[in-house]
C-alpha cells in the first residue's frame, strides 16, 4: 500500500457567509417550520453548518460517484467508494445567519489499512471555524475510502433488504425514547441539494444498486446524525444547549424501509447517548451529545 503520510498537514482555508436562503431550505427539508423565515442573526442549529463550505467543482472535475476527483486537498486514493465515517465537534460559541465564517481545514491523519472487506484508506480532517474574530467551533471529520463491494458484501446486503421488506425488524438495542423515521428520495434529494453533495448513492438508484452494490438509496450518514440531534432537542433533552457531539457510522441505512432513532436519558454530566438502528434493527450510527 502507498505511504500516505505526505498528505498529513495539508491545509485549506475557505470563507463563506451563513446564507439565510440555504438555512431556510434546510429548515424545509428537516420540517423545522419555525426557521422557514430565518433571517439575519438567527442562531444556526447544531451541525447545520454542514450545508456550507462544500467543494464547488465543475462537472469535468467530478469522479464516477459524483464527488470531486481526488488529488487536490484530499489524497488520490485507488479505492472508489467513499463514506463519511464519523465526526467529533465542540462548540465554543454560536454560528448565526449572516455571519462571515472562516474555516481552516488540516489533514490530521491519512493511512492505509487492510480489513475484512479489502484495502481501505482512513482520512481525518480537522476543521476550525472562526467568526467575528472568535473561534466558534472545532470539528474532526473521518472519511473512509473502500474497495469495490465484494460478492459476499452484496449478498449480505441483499439479505438485509429482503428482511426489511418483509418487516423483520429486531432492535439490537432499544432506547428509553424511540422514534420511527421514514426518509424517502425527495428528502434525500433535498438534503443533497442543500449540502451540494453530488454523491450518487443518495439519489441515483441504478448507480447505487448496479455499481456500488447497495439494495437501495443510502441515507446520508450526516443526515441521520442531524436527525439524531433534532430528536435530542425535541424529545430527549428539550431546551438544553448542545456543547459537544460525536458520532460513528457502523452500518449503512437505506430508503427501502423505515428505521429508528433512539436516546437514553441525560447523565449527570450532561452526556446523552444516542443511536440509530437500520432497516432491520442493527445499530447504524452510534453517537453521544453533551448538553447544558
- List, in order of start, the domains of the chain with CATH numbers: 5-291 (3.10.129.10)
Q: 0.85 exceeded by the pTM? A: yes
Mean pLDDT of 218-236: 97
Mean pLDDT of 185-192: 97
d(CA 233, CA 241): 8
Beta strands in the chain, from DSSP E residues, in sequence order:
11-17, 81-91, 100-115, 118-131, 134-146, 177-181, 242-249, 259-263, 271-277, 283-291
* pLDDT score of 75 more than 80: yes
* Residue 129 phi, psi dihedral angles, 5° rounding: -115, 130
pLDDT of residue 118: 77
pLDDT of residue 2: 64
Secondary structure of residue 260 in the 3-state scheme: strand
d(CA 141, CA 254): 22
pLDDT of residue 269: 95
Quick check: 128 and 138 in contact, CB under 8 A? yes
Mean pLDDT of 118-133: 94
Q: What is the DSSP letter of 148?
A: P
Mean pLDDT of 41-57: 96
d(CA 71, CA 55): 13
How many degrees, rounded to 5, is the angle at CA 112 between CA 107 and CA 114? 150
pLDDT of residue 93: 97
Of all residues in the chain, what percent carry a pLDDT higher than 70? 99
pLDDT of residue 1: 47
Mean pLDDT of 131-156: 95
pLDDT of residue 126: 98
Amino acid at each position: 500500500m502507498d505511504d500516505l503520510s505526505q498528505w498529513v498537514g495539508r491545509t485549506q482555508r475557505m470563507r463563506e457567509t451563513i446564507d439565510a436562503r440555504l438555512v431556510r431550505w434546510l429548515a424545509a427539508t428537516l420540517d423545522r417550520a419555525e426557521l422557514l423565515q430565518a433571517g439575519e442573526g438567527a442562531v444556526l442549529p447544531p451541525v447545520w453548518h454542514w450545508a456550507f463550505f462544500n467543494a464547488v467543482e465543475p462537472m469535468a472535475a467530478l469522479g464516477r460517484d459524483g464527488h470531486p476527483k481526488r488529488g487536490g486537498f484530499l489524497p488520490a486514493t485507488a479505492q472508489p467508494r467513499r463514506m463519511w465515517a464519523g465526526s467529533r465537534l465542540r462548540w465554543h460559541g454560536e454560528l448565526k445567519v449572516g455571519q462571515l465564517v472562516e474555516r481552516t481545514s488540516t489533514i490530521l491523519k491519512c493511512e492505509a489499512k487492510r480489513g475484512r472487506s479489502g484495502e481501505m484508506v482512513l482520512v481525518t480532517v480537522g476543521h476550525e471555524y472562526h467568526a467575528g474574530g472568535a473561534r466558534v467551533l472545532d470539528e474532526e471529520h473521518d472519511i473512509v475510502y473502500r474497495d469495490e463491494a465484494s460478492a459476499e458484501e452484496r449478498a449480505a446486503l441483499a439479505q438485509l433488504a429482503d428482511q426489511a421488506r418483509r418487516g423483520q425488524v429486531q432492535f439490537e438495542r432499544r432506547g428509553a425514547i424511540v422514534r420511527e423515521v421514514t426518509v424517502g428520495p425527495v428528502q434525500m434529494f433535498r438534503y443533497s441539494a442543500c449540502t451540494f453533495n453530488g454523491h450518487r448513492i443518495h439519489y441515483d438508484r441504478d448507480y447505487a444498486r448496479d455499481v456500488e452494490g447497495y439494495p437501495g438509496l443510502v441515507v446520508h450518514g450526516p443526515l441521520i446524525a442531524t436527525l439524531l440531534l433534532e430528536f435530542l432537542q425535541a424529545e430527549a433533552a428539550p431546551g438544553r444547549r448542545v456543547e459537544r457531539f460525536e458520532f460513528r457510522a457502523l452500518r449503512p441505512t437505506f430508503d427501502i424501509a423505515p428505521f429508528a432513532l433512539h436516546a437514553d436519558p441525560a447523565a449527570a454530566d450532561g452526556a446523552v447517548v444516542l443511536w440509530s438502528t437500520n432497516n432491520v434493527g442493527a445499530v447504524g450510527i452510534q453517537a453521544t451529545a453533551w448538553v447544558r
